[in-house]
C-alpha cells in the first residue's frame, strides 16, 4: 500500500465550506490533477482518502492533515504542484510525504493548538483579562451544559471540560481586541471545540462578543 500523508491549509473564503463539501472538492481535484488514487471495491467505488479531523465551519487552519492511498508512486513535489494548480484559492497543499504508518490519522491525533481573536464588550485593562484567564485555568472543574434531542425531548447534561483544556494564555491585547492561544484535546479519545471554551470564558466573566470571533487552528499533535 502506498500511503501519502498530506498537510494542507484552509483559509480565506474556503473557511465557509463544510467538511462534506471539502471532501467533494478534493475528489474533483484528484481527478483534474490525474492523481492515481486507489478506489474501494464494490458497486459504488470511492477514492481512498481520509482526514485527521473535521474543521468547524468558519474556522481557518494552517495544519490540516489527510492520508490517501495511491495505485502507483508519484514524486511528492510533483503531487503538490499538480494539486495546487487545480485547487481553489484558500486551499493549499503545504507538504506531502510517504508513510508506512498503518494507523488512521483520526486515531493518532490527540490535541490542537488554536488562536482565538475576540472583541471585548466592556472597558477592561490587560491585567484584568489575565486575571480572569488565570482564575479560569486554575479551576479543578469547569462545567458546561450540553443539550441533545432524544425521542422528541431535549435532554440537558452538565459536562466537566477542565481535563480537555491543556493550555490557555493571552498573547495579544490591542484596543478592544484580544487574542488567546490554547491547546485543547482533539481526536477520537476526546474533543473540545474552541467555541465551547469561549462560552466557558464568558460564564467566567469575560465580556466578549459571543457571535463575532475568529478561530484559527495552528497545529495538530499526536
In this predicted model, what pLDDT tens digit does every residue of 126-179 receive, in sequence order? 999 999 999 999 999 999 887 777 777 778 888 899 999 999 999 999 989 999
**Residue 83 confidence (pLDDT):** 97
**Residue 150 confidence (pLDDT):** 74
Give the number of other Cβ atoms within 10 Å of residue 137's Cβ.
Answer: 16
* 7 pLDDT higher than 90: yes
16 CB burial (10 A radius; 0-12, 13-18, 19+)? exposed
Domain map (residue ranges) of the chain: 2-108, 111-221
Helix H or strand E segment including 28: helix 19-32
16, 91 in Cβ contact below 8 A? no
The pTM (predicted TM-score) of the whole model is: 0.90
The three-state secondary structure class of 217 is: strand
Fold held by 2-108: Alpha-Beta Plaits (3.30.70)
Nearest of 194, 192, 182 to residue 113 by alpha carbon: 182
**Residue 207 confidence (pLDDT):** 93
Considering the segment(s) 111-221 as one domain, its CATH architecture is 2-Layer Sandwich (3.30)
**Residue 144 confidence (pLDDT):** 85
Domain 2-108 matches domain 111-221 at the CATH topology level: yes
- pLDDT mean over 50-58: 93
Amino acid at each position: 500500500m502506498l500511503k501519502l500523508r498530506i498537510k494542507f491549509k484552509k483559509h480565506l473564503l474556503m473557511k465557509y465550506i463544510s467538511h462534506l463539501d471539502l471532501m467533494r472538492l478534493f475528489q474533483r481535484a484528484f481527478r483534474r490533477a490525474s492523481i492515481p488514487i486507489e478506489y474501494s471495491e464494490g458497486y459504488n467505488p470511492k477514492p481512498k482518502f481520509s482526514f485527521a479531523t473535521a474543521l468547524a465551519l468558519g474556522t481557518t487552519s494552517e495544519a490540516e492533515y489527510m492520508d490517501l492511498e495511491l495505485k502507483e508512486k508519484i514524486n511528492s513535489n510533483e503531487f503538490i504542484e499538480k494539486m495546487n494548480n487545480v485547487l481553489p484559492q484558500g486551499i493549499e497543499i503545504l507538504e506531502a510525504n510517504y508513510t508506512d504508518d498503518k494507523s488512521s490519522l483520526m486515531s493518532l491525533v490527540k490535541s490542537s493548538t488554536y488562536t482565538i481573536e475576540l472583541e471585548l464588550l466592556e472597558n477592561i485593562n490587560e491585567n484584568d483579562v489575565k486575571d480572569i484567564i488565570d482564575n479560569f485555568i486554575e479551576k479543578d472543574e469547569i462545567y458546561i451544559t450540553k443539550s441533545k434531542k432524544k425521542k422528541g425531548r431535549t435532554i440537558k447534561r452538565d459536562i466537566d471540560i477542565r481535563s480537555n483544556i491543556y493550555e490557555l494564555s493571552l498573547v495579544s491585547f490591542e484596543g478592544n481586541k484580544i487574542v488567546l492561544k490554547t491547546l485543547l484535546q482533539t481526536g477520537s479519545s476526546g474533543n473540545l471545540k474552541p467555541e465551547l471554551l469561549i462560552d466557558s470564558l464568558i460564564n467566567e466573566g469575560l465580556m466578549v462578543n459571543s457571535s463575532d470571533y475568529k478561530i484559527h487552528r495552528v497545529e495538530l499533535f499526536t
